[in-house]
Structure 1
């Protein structure tokens, strides 16, 4: 459908965003052009606030000497100071007392100079500079002011982008990756190449497949995203032996993580609507059920030490300026033990772009500080905290005590990560702990575990390398290197492209790129077709890269770019042997044409598999690894984008406008590949379900705590429809075993996903929702028993229209697995007076 005919029914007024498309002339602008014409803070020249010296990331440097801790007597001596005069360096005192001494010594000007991500320190009292902004989404990244590669640290291990790693559904793997990243991060800190505060992970739910940042996220299911966050954060932060302490505010941390971007942030630049201008019109039901849930899990269970507030507004109010969403939720409700940081230049966006309340820069500073923002990341010409806080104090808009509270949160965190004292267990880490063989193999294994087999007609795969000695590798990604690492990446230890890896398996490999990812020129299709005619097997590598999907770049459709589809069809038609299509992408692509093409025997989704990705793909296609990944997002057909604007926020279908629901929980259409889909070289079945508890009974003293529940027309309303979960002990569990049988000739891992379905009479409830999963290895011809123990309230709970999370009475259903092999059993919930 032409752009000018999209969304003919968009002139409406509902509780969610009103979106009026631009004129047809402006709507025809290609995405890249539209993005380039939007003036954004990120596009501004990187500079410090006026008058501040340049900030160079690196170690604590004093008079040309490098130190790994601020409280080093020799360092103070270099400054002409005696460390014994400063209580904040007295390690026998508690962190709170030390921080109180530090902040108390600072002048107002010094305090303000340390509210930005490139904190200037205060040499007068021995406080060094500190760069807060480092990233570690899937390996230590070069993004941010506080990390750089070169000289003694030329590279770090590059793991697969998060969306692919999530497809493994393996919490042990997720945690192991984070532990490896934090070890490299700590080593790089010791070598002066990064800080100790990493603004990762991105745990926004992937609400819409067009969003350019889907590749950074763990997918569309809020439960899975939350579980990923817990394991990533724990893997990054936990110090062995100190996983829990009596005072979590003083728990030592290996490094600090930051769960971002809070919240309802999943649009970057779509038909001229940007993340800076977008007002997310969200119901409280969707906030609780989807957008906020992973963040609550990240803080409550992961004990993340930071949260980043996002650019967008939610129901008219900028997130970073909303005290109810910020300090009340993070600190009062969730008990955050750490600090709150803005997405970079958020205060500038509030003032310059959103013109919220038409206030002054000082008023913008005051509002975000009162809301609970501790640290201002500002990499444009102005860091608003560092430039306007002093005048805000003089105008009576900000108390100095507000600044003190922010600094105490920041320096308590730096105490915990060892910036002042270091942590002895991590002092020996150095170059020998970066880019090790063990970490390289973990990166390869992560990609292998996660790769998803989408099609495998007549057991096209795996190929026997001894029988296919002459192969053709064609397409934009056949020799991919940088494309494999996606965004928020560093410099990989090495690149192992598909061409590199496949060349070790075949005697002869003919490589033809044919076109780049945008594929606007088909003049080189001929050599690709010729290669396929002469090869015993043909591999076509297609997909996306950061020129198509990325931060500030949303997609306009779900199709392969340019003439890639034509390339696939021509090469497949000409191929003499089996054809395997390999897709590199973060989000979904409508490859219906390939799924239906009998000449294409197999389709693989390899995401962005990291620096070692070529090896992982080769291991799967040549049978050294039996694929077991499952899709963490729904793969829609391209018609989806014609049915719903990206700016429509409701997850549930909007029947009035013909909008389908979003994600597997509410989508009422037919997907190309559903959430949880993934084939294997083995056939698995589930059976032998042994349920230890198929009913839940809760005794009540009275019905005064009963809550209403929305029922379908004709549904039988109970005298006590539901109970508010927050008011229940919620100690009841549901335990069951399920047998997983491998009917194949190869051992393999199977991901067992467990869903709950609400009582049939409940209205507007999810179709189903993930409540647990396990990845289990099953030997060829064998059966593995998997045990689940689910908290009844968490597994069966629903979020009502009132935004209460309730336990409904009636018959819910537990479903194990997807598709034809799924098994299920009912669970009866009763409330007894």
Structure 2
């Protein structure tokens, strides 16, 4: 190295350390900056920390001209220089790690990547609420660190909390699965992890509660058709019953707003019953703001207003009319150019009042004030975060652990975990399949556009740590359209100690703007497995599947030479070692499927565009999700094996719950299929105080030979004589760890109104009298207890 190169390297290192250690985010209300502008900051109420954020935001907005205002309500706000208000890029993403999708975040030679955690569908499979919150905390640490380094903003449009209603949907990879309650709990925990500032969880005025970063729950609402057989999200009109809206599509968002206190909600591209969601005042103003009391802003999915004009051609609106419609409906921020380009003209034409723009701007600036953009964070929190907090060893280990916790063991013929005595020669493994050397495929979508990660632990790397490896791809890619590589793979696996086949899907099969048309393995993948399993002198064959949506694996699951099947979702950049840890017994799998895996012919029975959740017998449509589908499954919701065995005992649960009616409370009718007549068949939940808490006490025992984690599911089943109710409904879950032979109590204290209520066909939430039951676990190991509900 030359002297010049040495000096340059030292200088770069010093500058890197300087900017890492001394990173300081810019603060708007800085008296020195205003002094240079010739302005006394003390004369500006929007910088007076003694005033409420509402008052300060109003003062700031009132100082702007109309032209300045409309320039701030697009995602690329230009700022107002005369007020020392810089531009701000609202759009950043942090679905499972900080991404450079969106202009608000970028990477450079100093910070080339952020930690890639497993995609949401796999993290959800852990059913570990503590993990979900920890992931949010780790991601927001990296986001704040990048903000301090000038590489990111403070608002991140994550998480995606749409229910995975149909197995063909291309964006299941982003979602927490098919159960709206689980989706809502994931949302609340992940958002709390992203947003919460320690010491400020309970404030008298929620609009003053400091935020670490601003999260966003999307896409509101009934959005789960991207592009299926030529029907795309830019034209799709979701025909949804009010019952399904309340019971399924709105519930996760309500939980995200009420329990997560999320800073924003994003409306979706589609229409719901004829009206674009971003222009529907009933969905935005009336529901999100008035009913749920959002403390934050509502943003459009990118270019949704343009889609409303050119895609949906809603009311044949001009751009100005569309802008007026959405502003009046409650849309504060346009991810796009329609607000900045057409809002001023809309005001001049009398289509909307300037006050609507003022209202939106105040919502936006209050959030930025809560984020510390104006004054800094309380006590200087987070300013110490820098480069060393990005891709830290702790976060990389958390990524691997999240993958381990979510991985689901689908089949095991007493083969896993693999182990070899110390006296054996180092084993030789065959590693085959299109995902054997996966890197970018493991991190799914909303990753870095360049595909960079802190580092990659590939599947073949993970297996190589335990033995010598022979490799053959079998297919050139996951579509596996040319089976010419299968014979070579068959030869490769012969005489191997064990064979690992890595296959499944990737973003070329399921992705945003790309829905699936079938539930089968792509191309020759299934042939690859069956040919390998039938090869002479082949050892145990273990199949590892990368996918978000389910695949009909019936053929390989029945194959006697396929010893084990593992679903690994999309496990993040540390996925290789996480999978190997499960295979070789360093980790006992405890993940459970967050979606139903249907047989392949499911897609022939119902079009993806049918939004109905319940079966439609007239059309021969089956139900959707475990709550309403009663056909055969490949694997049911909540399925997953372990290397040990768990049993349940219900130790305590009431046999009868009696509700005392208020003096003027009315009983509500219910049509019982068996003609049963009760003096008080049901009560309306919203008219009830609903203070009755019931205690369900369980004892969970690990009766097997190995330590392990287990997910305890608690379902309720409504009286069988009420038509149209769910088969069962998940109301609580908990992941517990038990050593071999250990027993552990699990107690759920639950609101009786909420866990036993039903949504009627006219969308009322009723609490019906009669014989309900609770179910702990999934078949065949489930245990049940009947609980009667009465009113007096």
> TM-score interval w.r.t. the shorter chain?
over 0.9
CA gap of 1:465–1:709, structure 2 versus 1, over 3 A, is farther
- Give 3-state SS (helix, strand or coil) of 2:780's partner: helix
The answer on 1:521 being equivalent to 2:521 is no
For 1:464 and 1:696, how far apart are their aligned partners in 2?
Answer: 55
For 2:664 and 2:442, how far apart are their aligned partners in 1?
Answer: 57
Could you report, residue by residue, the CA deviation over 1:694-740 in whole angstroms, capped at 9, with x for unpaired residues?
3211122568521222432x241323211111111111112122121
For 2:660 and 2:469, how far apart are their aligned partners in 1?
Answer: 72
For 2:419 and 2:167, how far apart are their aligned partners in 1?
Answer: 32
The answer on 1:404 being equivalent to 2:361 is no
Structure 1 unmatched ranges of 5 or more: 1-64
Matching of residues 460-479 of structure 1 within 5 Å: 460-464=416-420, 469-479=427-437
Matching of residues 418-497 of structure 1 within 5 Å: 418-423=372-377, 424-464=380-420, 469-490=427-448, 491-497=452-458
Q: Contact (CA 8 Å) 2:25, 2:147: kept in 1 or not?
A: no
For 1:185 and 1:694, how far apart are their aligned partners in 2?
Answer: 50
Quote the residue 2:613 is aligned against. Answer: 651
CA gap of 1:715–1:475, structure 2 versus 1, over 3 A, is farther
Q: Contact (CA 8 Å) 1:465, 1:506: kept in 2 or not?
A: no
For 2:741 and 2:700, how far apart are their aligned partners in 1?
Answer: 10
The answer to which of 120-129 and 149-158 deviates more is 149-158
Quote the residue 2:774 is aligned against. Answer: 814
Could you report, residue by residue, the CA deviation over 1:198-231 in whole angstroms, capped at 9, with x for unpaired residues?
1001000000000000010000001100100110
For 1:333 and 1:373, how far apart are their aligned partners in 2?
Answer: 16
Q: Contact (CA 8 Å) 1:703, 1:720: kept in 2 or not?
A: no
- Give 3-state SS (helix, strand or coil) of 1:249's partner: helix
The answer to which of 693-702 and 233-242 deviates more is 693-702
Quote the residue 1:265 is aligned against. Answer: 223
Q: Contact (CA 8 Å) 1:813, 1:824: kept in 2 or not?
A: yes
For 1:452 and 1:146, how far apart are their aligned partners in 2?
Answer: 35
1:589 to 528, 534, 551: 551
Quote the residue 2:518 is aligned against. Answer: 557
Quote the residue 1:159 is aligned against. Answer: 117
For 1:708 and 1:585, how far apart are their aligned partners in 2?
Answer: 45
Quote the residue 1:356 is aligned against. Answer: 314
- Pairwise CA distance, 1:465: 7.8
Matching of residues 651-800 of structure 1 within 5 Å: 651-687=613-649, 689-701=650-662, 705-712=666-673, 714-800=674-760
The answer on 1:122 being equivalent to 2:76 is no
For 1:554 and 1:408, how far apart are their aligned partners in 2?
Answer: 38
Quote the residue 2:171 is aligned against. Answer: 213
CA gap of 1:530–1:386, structure 2 versus 1, over 3 A, is same
1:416 to 370, 384, 393: 370
1:610 to 543, 555, 572: 572
For 2:156 and 2:475, how far apart are their aligned partners in 1?
Answer: 39
- Give 3-state SS (helix, strand or coil) of 1:609's partner: coil
The answer to which of 405-414 and 140-149 deviates more is 140-149
1:576 to 538, 541, 545: 538
Quote the residue 1:502 is aligned against. Answer: 463
- Pairwise CA distance, 1:420: 1.1
Q: Contact (CA 8 Å) 1:435, 1:493: kept in 2 or not?
A: yes
Could you report, residue by residue, the CA deviation over 1:364-387 in whole angstroms, capped at 9, with x for unpaired residues?
110100000000001xxxx11011
For 2:342 and 2:463, how far apart are their aligned partners in 1?
Answer: 57
CA gap of 1:470–1:562, structure 2 versus 1, over 3 A, is same
For 1:217 and 1:472, how far apart are their aligned partners in 2?
Answer: 33
For 2:580 and 2:528, how far apart are their aligned partners in 1?
Answer: 22
For 2:751 and 2:421, how far apart are their aligned partners in 1?
Answer: 47
Q: Contact (CA 8 Å) 2:472, 2:488: kept in 1 or not?
A: no
For 2:366 and 2:561, how far apart are their aligned partners in 1?
Answer: 61
- Pairwise CA distance, 1:692: 4.4
- Pairwise CA distance, 1:526: 2.2
The answer to which of 463-472 and 92-101 deviates more is 463-472
Q: Contact (CA 8 Å) 2:474, 2:488: kept in 1 or not?
A: no
Q: Contact (CA 8 Å) 1:738, 1:785: kept in 2 or not?
A: yes
Structure 2 unmatched ranges of 5 or more: 1-22
Q: Contact (CA 8 Å) 1:589, 1:636: kept in 2 or not?
A: yes
For 2:729 and 2:487, how far apart are their aligned partners in 1?
Answer: 48
- Give 3-state SS (helix, strand or coil) of 1:821's partner: coil
For 1:695 and 1:240, how far apart are their aligned partners in 2?
Answer: 41
For 1:465 and 1:78, how far apart are their aligned partners in 2?
Answer: 74
Q: Contact (CA 8 Å) 1:811, 1:829: kept in 2 or not?
A: yes
Quote the residue 1:150 is aligned against. Answer: 108
Quote the residue 1:387 is aligned against. Answer: 341
